[in-house]
Amino acid sequence: MGWKINFRCLLNGLSDTMNMASKELAGQVALVTGASRGIGEAIAESLAARGAHVVITARTAGGLEELEDRIHEAGGSATIAPLDLTDGDSIARLASAIAERWQQLDMLVLNAAMLGTLTPVAAIDGKEFNKTLTLNLIAQQALIANFDPLLRRAASGRLIALTSSVAREPRAYWGAYAASKAALEVLVSSYGAEMRNISTVRTAILDPGGTRTQMRARAYPGEDPQSIKDPAAVGDYVAKLMIEGFDSTAFHALPKVMEKA
């Protein structure tokens, strides 16, 4: 892989918008996966608005560049890191780059995922199922493994993984995606239990509920997008958790409709 991490960090004067937001996360570094759109994008903006430097990843740079520009225009700071999460070597190189630049990682948000085809279990395509598990589960373990040392170096490392209600409430035709998310919940909860008594690292699992994203539109094409919440509400909730802290293995679920935090 030939990508290069862009360490452009412009410390602009704070805009009126940023002055309205608290800076409880100033001096902290966050890594958000799947940040080019939807919930990941909203989480990155919300953390940056509260003073964190956000390292934003996605497969391509396009959406990340637009997000980085918005964050900088609002007075925040961000680093672009185009990344194929199915490439373990790329994850390792990103961890090394972050370690060299900041020595630690305060916050890790595991958001990137793929829906795959909604189909009966007996009809699941093996190749696509393998791809879904690779991104939604195996890549997440690789992220945890590579960033574990950096989370431990932080005063209070925090990891939040995004899940779905189908991981706990089986639903027809959602078997492949649900299985990947159920396994992710167990994986992250196990890591949290391991960390509880030996470090300050804490983990949480967040079910964002119905949210206005491209993935949601694919899954529910007939749904009125205005009947569900904007991703910004999820972003603000994640920032609130990062600021207030949480117990390891904590589970949080958001309602379908809610006001911004």
Provide the annotated active-site residues.
177
Paired tokens of 128: 């696509």
Residue type, 251: F
Q: Which residues contact 196 (CB under 8 A, 6 or more apart)?
A: 248, 249
Helix (H, G, I), strand (E, B) or coil at 188: helix
Residue 165, class by beta-carbon neighbours within 10 Å (0-12 exposed, 13-18 middle, 19+ buried)?
middle
Burial (CB < 10 A; 0-12, 13-18, 19+), residue 143, is buried
Q: How far is CA 18 from CA 23, 190, 218, 231, 245, in A?
A: 9, 37, 34, 19, 22
Please compute, for residue 63, the number of CA atoms within 13 A of its CA located in the half-sphere on the CB side: 17
Torsion angles phi and psi, residue 253, rounded to 5: -130, 130
